[in-house]
């Protein structure tokens, strides 16, 4: 019973990732695309956690941590790019 629920949740996360990917491609504005990318990252984290539970292993927990950090940094970088137009600001020696 629990395994069926986990597989259903995995399928729904896959649908959510596909819909978010559509929003990234066809999004009307850059903030919509940033939110969709963040949503994809969160859904991937959840999907990996479900796969880890279904396979009864702790091997994927490190991948969840790394993907979470990368998703956070990517979201910050993308929003900074939207706001200022550059990601890394360089000081000029004038």
Check residue 74 and give left, alpha or beta (phi > 0: left; psi -120 to 50: alpha): alpha
pLDDT, tens digit, 9 for 90 and up, residues 13-72:
999 999 999 999 998 888 888 899 899 999 999 999 999 999 999 989 999 999 999 999
What is the model's pTM?
Answer: 0.80
The pLDDT assigned to 78 comes to 83
Please give the Cα distance from 65 to 88 (Å, whole number): 25
The first and second tokens of residue 66, run together, are 């790394």
**Helix-helix angle 2-26:30-55, to 10 degrees:** 160
The model's confidence at residue 3, banded by pLDDT at 50, 70 and 90, is: very high
The pLDDT assigned to 93 comes to 67
């Amino acid at each position: 019973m629990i395994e069926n629920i986990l597989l259903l949740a995995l399928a729904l996360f896959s649908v959510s990732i596909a819909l978010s990917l559509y929003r990234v491609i066809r999004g009307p504005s850059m903030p919509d695309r940033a939110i969709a990318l963040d949503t994809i990252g969160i859904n991937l984290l959840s999907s990996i956690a479900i796969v880890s539970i279904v396979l009864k292993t702790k091997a994927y927990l490190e991948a969840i941590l790394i993907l979470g950090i990368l998703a956070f940094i990517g979201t910050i970088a993308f929003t900074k790019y939207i706001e200022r137009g550059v990601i890394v600001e360089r000081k000029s020696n004038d």
